[in-house]
A and B are shown apart, each in its own frame.
Chain A
């Protein structure tokens, strides 16, 4: 009986550790992709790349290739992107993986870090541990934990959420606002973002009709709310906001 219990626990642990594979990796036109054991690097294949790059942590148990399609749009706009491959696809096991990746793209001299879901929370934790290592932070359906408050961090933050997110719910996002630097501003659309006249350190935007899983490309996720917009529409909105975030900060 005891042996059966151990086997059941072992089997449940194995099933719970299964990674979501990507549903759609391409297209990656306009982008040069290189891959190593530690990361996937996306660079613009035409024109000059910027000197500010984006290091990105995937969500929990999501294959890093599930973000290639979306973040290729960011890279094609001239922003080098490094998608970290974290241990066991759990960023909590590689919180500071981004530090070693900062030398992975020649010509990039400063880095913004970001992540989806648990990856975003761990990116915030890495910023909390090494506040001088990064000059900006991007959250996709993510927020810092109460023990890693970034309220006093003097750099810009972009927080993108989705109205139909069943995991990082709008309520959780709103509750976490005091953990992010101020002044803060919420924008309804990209036009409102571009029209900002002040200098808010944290900008919030909620994607109407989006859900948690569509911040990547890995199909439906247990517990999610269900999107009413297509993955391509959600990805396009993410890309537009991230590239505008870089432009607005002179990167």
Chain B
């Protein structure tokens, strides 16, 4: 598992191809209940689902990026999303914040499997409890849709949710 995480972060590092000295890399994992705000174009408040997420994070100065996997329940069953996020970071020291935009392609776990995608943004606070361990809390807004669902059910699926994530992060390299 640790080897996979390092591979993920190595990929991030190559992608950014910057001097590694001021980058930090972390592995984060948390739970993500999703509060529903709108469903198929109408306001419809309720619990939309919940997920577990595993993220590889890279931060440098003002910039932050992360990729990962998020799996959990949605109003149409179960789903797996692969979030890709980028944004800015502010603050220094043990408590700092981030604003990230995201696109999350993924799969609805149905027979047959259907493509779905989420678009959104989130604000996150990282608290470094020690030099290599911390906690994070994020709140965001995400529009998720599964275009092909309507061709099977006669009813579309798009949802606006407020994902709230709470988890832990391990700093793997600075």
A residues sitting closer than 8 Å to B (CB atoms) are 2-3, 6, 14-15, 17-22, 25-26, 35-38, 40, 61, 63, 65, 68, 85, 87-89, 93
Contact = CB atoms under 8 A, between A and B. Distances in A.
Nearest to A10: B71
B53 to A, nearest CB: 13
3 pairs of A and B residues whose beta carbons are closest in the complex? A19-B77, A65-B153, A88-B73
Interface stretch (B44-52, B97-105, B115-123): B44-52
A2 B3 CA distance: 11
B80 to A, nearest CB: 6
Nearest to B75: A37
Given A6-B1, A26-B154, A37 B46 contact: yes
B1 A18 contact: no
B3 A21 contact: no
A14 B111 CA distance: 12
Nearest to A23: B152
A95 B111 CA distance: 24
B1 A35 contact: no
Contact of B76 (A15, A19, A93): A19
Contacts of B111: 18-21
Interface string B1-17: 10110000000000000
Contact of A88 (B1, B36, B77, B152): B77
Nearest to B80: A14
A25 B153 contact: yes
Contacts of A61: 77
B155 interface: yes
B109 A14 contact: yes
Contact of A3 (B3, B40, B75): B3
A18 B109 contact: yes
A22 B3 CA distance: 41
B125 to A, nearest CB: 28
B150 to A, nearest CB: 10
Contact of B48 (A15, A37, A65): A37
Contacts of A2: 1
24 contacts: A2-B1, A3-B4, A6-B1, A14-B78, A18-B113, A19-B76, A19-B78, A19-B109, A19-B111, A21-B110, A21-B112, A21-B153, A22-B153, A26-B154, A36-B42, A37-B46, A37-B48, A40-B155, A63-B77, A65-B154, A87-B49, A88-B73, A88-B78, A89-B77
B162 to A, nearest CB: 13
Contact of A25 (B75, B112, B154): B154
B144 interface: no
B52 to A, nearest CB: 11
Nearest to A19: B77
Given A3-B3, A18-B111, 9 more contacts: A18-B110, A20-B110, A21-B152, A25-B152, A25-B153, A25-B154, A37-B48, A37-B159, A63-B76
Given A14-B109, A37-B159, A38-B46, A22 B75 contact: no
